[in-house]
Structure 1
Amino acid sequence: MQTRDFIYITSELVVGFVSVFSNSVVLAAICRTPRLHTVTNVFMGNLALADVMVGISVTPCASLSYVGLPRSFYGCVFINSILLMVTNVSILMMLTIAIERFIAIKEPFFYDRVLSITRAIFVNIFVWVLGLSLGMVPLAGWNTGYHEVEYCEFRDVIPAEYMVYFQFFGVVLLPMSIMLLIYIYIIIIVRKHVRRSNAISEHFQGKPVHDHFKKDVKSARWLSMVMLLFGIFWLPIYILNLLRLFCPQCQYSLSFLLAAIVMSHANSCINPFLYAASNSRIERAIKEMLGL
């Protein structure tokens, strides 16, 4: 085994372990702490669950594919589709939380009346079904076509057209664009609210108003950071996919490709720290659970 191979596989295993452990801690803290049983945290927990699945399934499958396993066409398509499935769930979950934050800030009375934990759970189930279904498109037929596989490799079974036109433009870029528009709208609402609140506070001698609104805004800021980091961590691999389709003669090193792959998987390790940083209750629950 070459040094590059050892570094890549070790990096994948480390990323997988950190992702499973850190996100499992967040999930456990939310599940065992009654005061954390809110609609937002149900969605947040589902995002953490998707990140757990990255560590459990995606990083091992990426390592297997790197060493050329399995040596069957449909087996190779399947393990390379797993990454797409879990990634789709994460993206759709971020879009769901963005919509939930938008409703909470724009229509708080409608939010309190309509959204419940039970309905949030059903939404989570729908997101998983939709995300997994979109990731199974290569298994359904959009692949490079059946052929004998002696060495399993992502590019040999998943076409560039699928990765760019369907996965990047349709499943990634479209939801991210919708989320961006939502956050721009939220910023506009927040600025109007701040001006209105300042006027009210002056009238009531500086007493704070609308604490619930401030919590909603803080949650929206947290998710915008999650979205920003997702884009940063996944940008290199999608740039390479674009080059693969539109500039097949362009050359780049295997080491750069492997670094981009590990970087995309490492995104799942970042979110738990954002959860704790943005929510003092989650941070406190984690510390209590770990005895810190």
Structure 2
Amino acid sequence: MAEWNWVAYTILEVLIAVACCLGNTLVVCAVCVGIRDSLREPTFCFLVSLAVADFLVGVAAVPLAILLDGWVNMTPDLCLLLSCVVLVLTQASVLSLLAIAVDRYLRLHTPHRYKAVATQQRTCLAVSVCWILSCLLGFTPLFGWHNYSTLASDSTNTSSPSFISPPCTFLSVISLPFMVYFNFLGCVMAPLLVMTFLYIRIFWSLQRRLKDSSPQAQASLLRERRLACSLALVLILFAGCWIPLHLMNCLLLFHGPKAVTQGTLYTGILLSHANSAVNPVVYAYRIPKIQQAYSQTWSRLMRLNCCHGDKRVRRSITGHKSYRDDRDDDQEGRLHPNTTKQKSTVMF
């Protein structure tokens, strides 16, 4: 890859990382602070879990993607561990999206039992299970499914006195069969198919109920359909951003390293990371509660800035006024010394 292409890729990755961090921090603050009792609603808890995963993409996955491109020499074990972190964050996003889809399905098809089933304690347990499963599935290569030949050849070289750790790259330690058969087909495509089926059932049921419901009930069903459309859009964007990179891995596995150019591979990586920066924008434009929470958060920040600005102005005015009074008294003392002595005598 040409040097200027690498510079452009790095700049875009840095911009995506900043957007991920700022946007998803705003999402977490808006949901946890701006929306009253939002964390008691399972959907918003799972949205916070997804936002945390997207935030960690900007903090960890993007820097690691730049680092794990042959620029740093490290031991194969450390290289494998850092590569698995990216897989964990991807899996956390998939499972959070799956939890959101299951939650909306249960809310629509079991409305009478939903509050009894989807308690706050069970919601927190579901979020914990999502992250525990993400760690187990993402760190699977640590238990043996990795590039044996690369690690074996590197370990034999450690006995030489002039041993230097090889450059660390993602595909040098992560097995392509693992990425295609286990990660793509099992951990990404299978949940995506389940979510697609659930959203089809949700929209079909909403459409049927809207035809048979009264005008009073239609308003609630329309709000439910709007939220379902927004969450389905998040799912579609995830699939559109991640599937191209997985398809490139399939081409690399079945047709060799020349099947995908380096520039195309970097484009797929950028697209997958950009998904984490796009989600906060979707929340802002498609989910009214989060949109309202955004405006409340911004208004609070602006109010705090205004208050600090007013305090600084008052302090400067007060300090300038006291300085001016002291200066006037000093000038009066020099012009009328007798008067000053009389005043001092009266005071004492």
With the length of structure 1 as denominator, give the TM-score of the two structures: 0.92
* Contact 2:20 2:276 (C-alpha < 8 Å) held by counterparts: yes
3-state DSSP class of the match of 1:69? strand
- The percentage of counterpart residues that share the same residue type is 28
Distance 1:69 1:106 in 2: 52
Partner of 1:89: 92
Q: Does 1:165 align with 2:181?
A: yes
Which residue number in structure 1 is paired with residue 10 of structure 2?
Answer: 9
Looking at structure 2, the residues matched to 125 and 213 of structure 1 have their Cα atoms a distance apart, in angstroms, of 30
Root-mean-square deviation over aligned CA pairs: 1.6
Bigger drift between 46-55 and 105-114 goes to 105-114
Matched letter for residue 170 of structure 2: F
What's the offset of the Cα at 1:252? 2.7
Ranked by relative contact order (alpha carbons within 8 Å, sequence separation 6 or more), the top structure is 1
In 2, are the aligned partners of 1:27 and 1:48 still within 8 Å (CA)? yes
Name the structure 1 match of 2:168. Answer: 152
Distance in 2, Cα, partners of 1:196 & 1:118 = 35
Counterpart code for 2:22: F
3-state SS of paired residue (2:74):
coil
Determine the structure 1 residue equivalent to 2:220.
212
Q: Structure 2 unaligned runs (5+)?
A: 155-164, 303-348
Q: How far is the alpha carbon of 1:80 from its aligned partner?
A: 1.2
Of the structure 1 ranges 96-105 and 9-18, higher mean CA displacement relative to structure 2 is found in: 9-18
CA distance in 1, matches of 2:6, 2:105: 45
Residue 46 of structure 2 corresponds to residue 43 of structure 1: yes
The CA deviation string for residues 156-204 of structure 1, in whole angstroms up to 9 with x for no partner, is 111110000000000000000001111111122112101102xx34xxx
Unaligned runs of 5+ in 1: 202-207
Instruction: Determine if the alignment matches structure 1 residue 101 to structure 2 residue 104.
Output: yes
Aligned equivalent of 1:138, options 141, 148, 155: 141
Give the number of equivalent residue pairs: 284
List per-residue Cα deviations over 1:121-152 (Å, max 9, x = no partner): 11111100101110001111110022425111
Q: TM-score, normalised by structure 2?
A: 0.78
Could you tell me whether the CA contact under 8 Å between 2:91 and 2:137 is conserved in 1?
yes
Rounded to whole Å, the distance in 2 between the matches of 1:140 and 1:68 is 26
Q: Distance in 2 between matches of 1:67 and 1:161?
A: 21
Q: Distance in 1 between matches of 2:144 and 2:73?
A: 19
Q: Aligned residue for 2:261?
A: 253
**Are the structure 2 counterparts of residues 256 and 225 from structure 1 closer, same or farther at C-alpha, using a change threshold of 3 Å?**
same
Match 2:204 to one of 188, 200, 221:
188
Aligned residue in 1 for 2:236: 228
Distance in 1, Cα, partners of 2:65 & 2:109? 42
